[in-house]
Amino acid sequence: MEIVLLTELWLFRVLGYLALAIELWALVDCARRKPASFEATFKRTKSFWLGLTAGSAAIGALTAYFGGFGLFGLLQLVAIIAACVYLADVKPAVSEVQGSGPYGPW
Structure-model confidence comparison of residues 20 and 68, the more confident one: 20
CA dist 38 and 45 (Å) reads 6
- Going by pLDDT thresholds of 50, 70 and 90, the confidence category of residue 103 is low
pLDDT of residue 104: 55
pLDDT of residue 11: 86
Residues 6+ apart with CB under 8 A from 90: 30, 38, 41, 43, 49
Residues 6+ apart with CB under 8 A from 23: 53, 56, 57, 59, 60, 79, 80, 83
pLDDT of residue 28: 96
> 104: which strand partners?
101
pLDDT digit string, tens, across residues 3-33: 998 898 888 888 889 999 999 999 999 999 9
**What global pTM score does this model have?**
0.84
